[in-house]
Amino acid sequence: MVYTRGYLLLATFVALVALPGLVRAEDLRRTAIVRAIQTSRDSVVNIHGEKFVSDTGDDAEDRRVNGMGTGVVIDPRGYAVTNFHVVDGVREIEVTLASGRTVAARLISHDRRTDLAVIKIDTVDPLPVIQLGTSDDLLTGETVLALGNAFGYEHTVTRGIISALHRNVDVSPTQRYEDLIQTDASINPGNSGGPLLNIHGEMIGINVAVRAGAQGIGFAIPVDSVLRIVTRLLSIERIDHTWHGLVCRTCGTGAMIETVHSQSPAETIGMRAGDIILRVADKNVTSQLDIERALLGRKAGEVVAVTVTREGDEKNLSLALAKAKQQKASASERSWEQLGLRLAPAVSSTVQQLQPRYHGGLLVQEVRFGSPASDKGIRPGDILVGLHIWETVKPDNVSYILDQIKSDQLETVKFYILRGRDTLFGHLTSDTILR
């Protein structure tokens, strides 16, 4: 009787194991975390490149530094977002895809203040795109995953929780991050620009910084902030110099128009605030970013089909893109973007004490790594006293000179700086400063 009962129990166990619908051992291993990584992994790329860093000291020489970081594909044509500091000063960007193939990429747009950039990967085949989450409902304590090129180890996964929200972090005298997500997921050099994921594999942030000397304190830019910046960085006005005249916000069914600019292509065809855009060029849209991506690469004059709803009625419109109105950059912006110099007027009496023949100059406050000025050895503390045949006493002088350089089609531009009492000079190649 005892043996019979034992056999019956064993038979019952075997039958239960064999029943269809029961969880297999392999399925038990495929946890939510595993599925989240499998969902997002192919849309994450590894970024490599070399840059030259200037050391301090009179006899110091520029050092060649191997840079590394991570990027996240946000458009199948190869547009990816990363941190600007990952690609700042890198002349030849290389990207390794999830397949293991290495291809070239280029920087197309950036925002230094928020440390975000968009690169374009040189690819013909469409790339997988990251799933986007939201950061407006994050909970302290919820599980998050960091994915990136940590110390060059590609597609490294670390797990942690959200430790805090709305952190402000100063990482240098010139770089301050605001409203960051704090996490104890391990974030190391090389993780910068990679995604912070929720348990569903959706990107909720871009990993950006780790507290030096601390353990388990890393930070990420919230995805809602990332998307606002990236929408501007990928706008057709910025990339293609075309214009539609729409400002939209996400709503449940599409992108709701908040503003239609006067005399814009959108106003011309009767689009109004309150209209909900459903489709642009046969692509469904739910945000301003979707609209920009749908129009990216199209030329001024090209007509694009747009579907909107107005008071419940669906309308099909034809939007003709126009050439964007050019806004002249300020003198300080041009100096920084084209030369790589942050300049301020030097005290005239100080300049004349150093060299009486100069009426004044512009004090170099900062030099951008990898810029034309950095490549020629200009340093903070130098005084720019001339470009080509003109003096540089006021910031507006620089803008004027850059315009003249372009109109005269010069191949090289001579610069003059004061370093102490010595006047030094060098040459800038015009194609590196005129863009």
Catalytic positions? 85, 115, 192
Q: Is 139 exposed, middle or buried (0-12, 13-18, 19+ CB in 10 A)?
A: exposed
What is the rounded CA–CA span in Å between residue 45 and residue 380?
35
Closest among 122, 153, 145, 131 to 72, alpha carbons compared: 131
CB-based contacts of 270, cutoff 8 Å, min separation 6: 317
* One-letter-per-residue 3-state SS of 242-304: EECCEEEEECCCCEEEEEECCCCHHHHCCCCCCCEEEEECCEECCCHHHHHHHHCCCCCCCEE
Instruction: Find all residues with CB under 8 Å of 347, minimum gap 6, and list them.
Output: none
The tokens for 394 are 């006021």
C-alpha 372/C-alpha 357 separation (Å) is 27
Phi, psi (rounded to 5 degrees) for 349: -65, -35
Axis-axis angle for helices 288-295, 223-233 (nearest 10): 30
SS3 content of the chain, % helix, strand, coil (to 5): 25, 40, 35
Compute the distance between CA of residue 290 and CA of residue 236 in angstroms, rounded to an integer: 12
Q: Which amino acid is at 26?
A: E
Q: Which two tokens stand for residue 25?
A: 């051992």
Planar angle of CA 226, 232, 236, nearest 5 degrees: 135
Q: Would the CA dihedral through 154, 160, 164, 170 be positive or negative? A: negative
